[in-house]
Structure 1
Amino acid sequence: MANLGDHMAVAKVLASIPQLEPADLVDAVVAEMGSAGLDVPYSAKRKVHFLNIALHCLASEQARGALVRAVEFFAAGLPQVEQIRRLAGLADSLLEPEDERRIEELLRRCEAGDLRALYQVVTEGKGAVCPVGLTSAWEMFEFLLDVNGRPGWLAPHLRFVALLRGRLVHQEPANDPELKDELGRWLYRQRDLLRELDDVAATELELLLRQPPPFQTRTDLPVCLIVEIDRSPVPDDGTDPHRVTHWTQADQSRWSPVRGEDVELPSARLGDYVVELVLKAEEEWTSGGPLLLEFMLAPDLVNLAVERWPRQISQNLPPRALGQDYEVVLRSDARLRPRHRHRLWRDRWDRFMRGEGGTHVIPLEEAELGAVHDDLIRGCHLVACVLSAPPDHPLGRAQLEAAIDAGLPIVLWCRDVASNVEFREIVHDVVQPVKLKKLPESILQLRSSAACESVALLWDDPDRPRAQFHAPHRVSE
C-alpha cells in the first residue's frame, strides 16, 4: 500500500512521461472516477501540479486505480506505467523493502547490455513486448517485478539478476570484483526465501547460480543450431546415405538443446538440407543475438567443408557460403575425443576461460610426430593449435589426434593445402592469447579472404555435453 511519502516519487515519475500535461491527466482521472470527482489545486508549475495530483490520488484506493488507468492511457508501452502501478500500491510486493533497496544499489553498478534481448530471454518469449525507454539494469528489474510469473517457474526479475551475475562470473573482466559476490549473496538469500514457497523455482535459481552459461565466451545472447552428420549404417546403394540430426539451443541460462527430427538422405542433399535448417532457425529466431552453427562430424567426415555450403538468394544475386554469414565451428564427439582424455580437456578449457592459454602453430616443414605430440602434452599453457595439414591427409590426421589426446579444446586448419602459408600469416594475429575468446567471430570476418574461406575451427566447450534425447521419428529422403 502506498504511504504518504510515495507522492514525491509518483510526481517525479509523472513528470518524466514525455508530453504528458497535468491538466490532461486530471481530466482523465476525473473521467475514470465518474461522480466521485477529484479536486486538485491548479499550479502553473508543471512539477508542482503533478505533485498536487499525486497527493490527491494517493488519498483513496478509487483515486489510485483511476490514476493508474489514466497513465496507462497516456503512456502505454512505457516503463512509467509499471512504476506508477507499484508506487500506487496496486502491484503485489515481491520483495521486502530492505531487499529491494539492496538490489537497487547493486544493479545501479551493473552494465546490462542489450536490455531488449535480455527481456526476451528472462521472460522466455512469453512476456509482452519490452517497453521502450528502459536504460539501466535497475529500470529493467523494476519493470520485471510486475511481469506475471507462474508456479514452478522462476520469476523473471530473479532470472534477470542471475543472468547478470553469471555474466560477471564467467564472461566479463572483474572490474568490480565485489559486485558478483554481493549479487550472489543476494540471490542465495532469495533462493532460501523461495524454498518455503516454490521449491521448483528455488531449485532453478540454484542451478543458475552454480552452472556456467551455455555460451561462456559471449555476451550477445546467441541462438545455436547444432548439426550432427554421420554415415548411415546401411548398405551403400550408390547414393552414399548419411544420417543428420539437429538440435537448437536458445536457452541462455543452461545447456538444454531441443532435438529435431533425424533424417537420412544422400550426400548430394546434405548442403541443401542444412541450409533449410538454417533458414528455419532464422524464422524462429527470438533471442536478439546472432545465430551460430556447430557441426559434429564423424571422424572420417571431419574435413567436410560445411562452411562452403551455398545459400541460394535469388536469380539476380550469387549464392553466399554459410561461412560468410555465420560463425561456423566444429565440435568433437566420443569417437574423436575419448572419455579418458576429458580431464585434460576440461583443465585446458578452464585455463582458456581464465585468459591464460596460448596457441601452438605446428611448423609446415616435416616435423617428427612424436615430437609434436610431446610439445602439445608438455605445453601445459597451450589451449589451441594450428595444424600444418588438413586431417584428410595422414599428417594432419595424426596432428589432430595428438591435439585431442593432449586435451586442446581449440584446433584450426586450412582445408586447402595450397593456401596454407597465406592462411597462417592471416590468422597469426587472431590466435594470440588476448584475442582467442573472439576467435569464431574473427574467423567469420577472415573468411572473406580466399586463403581463409576454407578454414576449419574445432571449438569444443566441455561444459556443453552432447545432447542425449530419445530419437524422434526418422524421416528418409
Structure 2
Amino acid sequence: MREAPRRHPPSIAEERRRLVGQIATVMEASAVVRDPNSRQLLLQELGHALGGALGYRELVVLRPQIVDLVTVCVDRPGGLRCLAECLELLEPGSTQTIALLLLADEWQAVELLADYDISWLRSLLSTLEATAELRRFVTEARATPAPPWCETAWHLFAHLASANSHGAVPPWLSLLDRIAPAVPQASLSRMNHLTAQLAKDWGMTDQVVASAPSPPSPTGTAYLVIQFEKYGGDDDTYIMSHWYQWASPVWQPIRGEDRHVPYGELEAAVDQVVNETERRWAKLAGAVTIEFVLPWQLINEPVDTWRKELDSPMPSPLTTEYPLVIRSLERLRASQWHRVWRSRWRGLADRVGERKLVHCAAQQHADVQLEAILKRETAVVALVLSETPTSDSVGERQLLVGLRSGVPAIVWHRGSSSTVDLCKTVSSMLGDHASGSEVTELPNRAAQLRQQAWSEDPKGLDQHIGHGFVLLFDDPDRQPVGAVHADGDRRKVPA
C-alpha cells in the first residue's frame, strides 16, 4: 500500500488565526466585555498587568475591537495569560473565563511546538480523560495542583507547556510518555514517533528513555504538614501554615495559605485544613500522615486528641484515621543542629544488628550527662523521656538535649504511664534487630497503638498507654522550610 503523503505542519500564522478567532468568539459572549463600562475596567486592569498602554485601536464594532485586543495580547509574551487572568478577576468561574484560560495555555503549546504538526495530537489527547494519575504527575511537576478545568489529557499537556521547565526533561514531554498506555493502538505508533522526535530535538533521548513509564508501583504516603508559630508579641494568636503533598519520592510540597488563629480556635482551624485537603484528594487513594510542627510553647499540646468534622453530630479523633506525629519548629530553624541530625538519620540505612536503638532517659539524667551518652551511642534513634516536658522540668531539658543531639524520634507520655512501660512499648515497636525501614515505620506503629486505645478504652478510663502517647518524629529530608507556595511563589517560613 502506498504511504499517504506526509502533511506539512500548519504554519504558526494559521494556528494564530484559528486561536485569535476562537478567543474573540469566547470574549464576545462575556457579559464583562459586552458592557462598555466593565470593558473599560478590564482594559484598565490589563494595562496594569502588561505594564503600560495597550496600543490598540478603539473601534465602533465590538468584534473587530476584540480581535485587535487579542492580537495585541498574542504579540506580547504572556499577554494572553494576563488577559485571561484579568477577565477572571472580573468574571470569576464563568464559562468564558475558563475557556479563555484553556485557550491561553493552548497558544503557549502552539508557540512552543511551532515546528511540529500537533493538530492531530490535540484531537487525540482531547479524547483522553485527565485521570487522577495524570493530574498527580502534573501536580508534582508544577508544584501546584492542576486546575479543575483541565478535564482532558490535552488540557494537562497545554497546561504544562505553558510553564517554564526547570528540570532535565520538560514535564510536558514526560507527560506524553505517561499518556502512551491510554492511546488507541491505531494512533500509538504516531504518538511514539512524535515523542521520540521531540526527545531527540530537545537533546533528551537518554533521559526520556530512562524515565519511560513502568508498571504502577505501590502507593506511598501522602503528607499534610501543619505548622504553628507565635504571631509577634500576641500571646494568644498563632500563624498557622500548612503544606501538602501526595505520595511522591521527591519531597516538594505545596504550601497553602497562612492563617492567623487564636489559641482557642486552633483545633477548629486544623479541622478546616484537613477537610480542604481531603476534598483536594477526593479522587485519589492511599495513606495520609499528618505532622504538626510545634513551637516550644505548644510542644506538649494534645494534638493527638483533636478531632475532625467538628460541625458534625459525631466528630472523630484524627488519630483514628491518620498516623499523627509532632515535629519541632526550633529544630527546623536551628541549622547548627542539622549536621548531627542528618548524620544520625543517615545511619538508619544500615542494619543495626545488636546495637542499641532506644535510650530511656533516667530521671537524674539531663543536660550534659544525657548529651554525652547520646553522643557516645550514635546508633540511638529513639529517646524516651523520663517525664512530660512541661515548663522548667527535667523532661523539657531532656527534650532539648535530644533535639540538638539529632535524635529523630523522641517519645514521652502525658499521662501516668511509667517510664518503664513506655520504654518497653517503644522497644517492642522497633523489635530486637530493627533496621532503618522499621524505624521509619514508627509513625504507623504509634497510630496502631492509639487506634487500639480508642477501640479498647474509648473514654480513657483504664488509661491505655495509647492515650497520651506522644511521638516527635523528624525526617531531615522532609522539611517544610522553603516549600513552594500554591500560587507558585517560593517563600520561606519567617526566621
Compute the TM-score of the two structures, normalised by the length of structure 2. Answer: 0.52
Question: Does 2:478 align with 1:460?
Answer: no
Aligned to 1:198: 202
SS of the residue aligned with 1:428? helix
Compute the TM-score of the two structures, normalised by the length of structure 1. Answer: 0.54
1:297 aligned residue (294, 297, 303): 294
Aligned to 2:447: 444
Distance in structure 2 (CA, Å) of the matches to 1:266 and 1:382: 38
Quote the offset at 1:119 in angstroms. 6.6
Aligned to 2:273: 277
In structure 2, list runs of 5 or more residues that go unmatched. Answer: 2-119, 122-130, 140-144, 147-152, 162-169, 180-195, 454-463, 490-495
Quote the offset at 1:343 in angstroms. 1.4
Distance in structure 2 (CA, Å) of the matches to 1:342 and 1:360: 21
Written as runs of structure 1 = structure 2, the 5 A alignment for 1:174-189 is: none
Q: Give the partner amino acid of 1:220.
A: T
Q: Give the partner amino acid of 1:426.
A: T
Quote the offset at 1:387 in angstroms. 1.4
Question: Closer, same or farther in 2 for the Cα pair 1:316/1:243, shift >3 Å?
Answer: closer
Q: Give the partner amino acid of 1:282.
A: E
Aligned to 1:155: 174
Quote the offset at 1:471 in angstroms. 10
Quote the offset at 1:293 in angstroms. 0.6
CA contact (8 A) 2:344 2:407 kept: yes
SS of the residue aligned with 1:430? helix
Q: Give the partner amino acid of 1:424.
A: C
Question: Closer, same or farther in 2 for the Cα pair 1:414/1:378, shift >3 Å?
Answer: same
Aligned to 1:425: 424
Question: Does 2:336 align with 1:340?
Answer: yes
Aligned to 1:37: none
Distance in structure 1 (CA, Å) of the matches to 2:136 and 2:312: 37
Quote the offset at 1:328 in angstroms. 0.9
> Matched residues, percent identical?
26
SS of the residue aligned with 1:382? coil
Quote the offset at 1:363 in angstroms. 4.1
CA contact (8 A) 2:325 2:473 kept: yes
Q: Give the partner amino acid of 2:368.
A: G
Aligned to 1:361: 359
**C-alpha RMSD of matched pairs (Å):** 4.3
SS of the residue aligned with 1:296? strand
Question: Closer, same or farther in 2 for the Cα pair 1:375/1:440, shift >3 Å?
Answer: same
Aligned to 2:374: 376
CA contact (8 A) 1:390 1:417 kept: no
Question: Closer, same or farther in 2 for the Cα pair 1:400/1:313, shift >3 Å?
Answer: closer
CA contact (8 A) 2:304 2:318 kept: yes
SS of the residue aligned with 2:329? coil
1:385-444 residue CA offsets vs partner (Å, 9 max, x unmatched): 211122225211111111122211221221224465443333330033243221111000
CA contact (8 A) 2:243 2:256 kept: yes
1:115-156 residue CA offsets vs partner (Å, 9 max, x unmatched): x98676446597xxxxxxxxxxxxxxxxx9xx9796531424
Distance in structure 2 (CA, Å) of the matches to 1:385 and 1:421: 13
CA contact (8 A) 2:291 2:324 kept: yes
SS of the residue aligned with 1:367? coil
Question: Closer, same or farther in 2 for the Cα pair 1:421/1:122, shift >3 Å?
Answer: same
Q: Give the partner amino acid of 2:278.
A: E
Q: Give the partner amino acid of 1:446.
A: L
Aligned to 1:327: 323
Question: Does 2:387 align with 1:389?
Answer: yes
Question: Closer, same or farther in 2 for the Cα pair 1:471/1:355, shift >3 Å?
Answer: same
Distance in structure 2 (CA, Å) of the matches to 1:377 and 1:269: 40
CA contact (8 A) 2:227 2:240 kept: yes
Q: Give the partner amino acid of 1:326.
A: Y
Equivalent residues, number: 305
Q: Give the partner amino acid of 1:403.
A: G
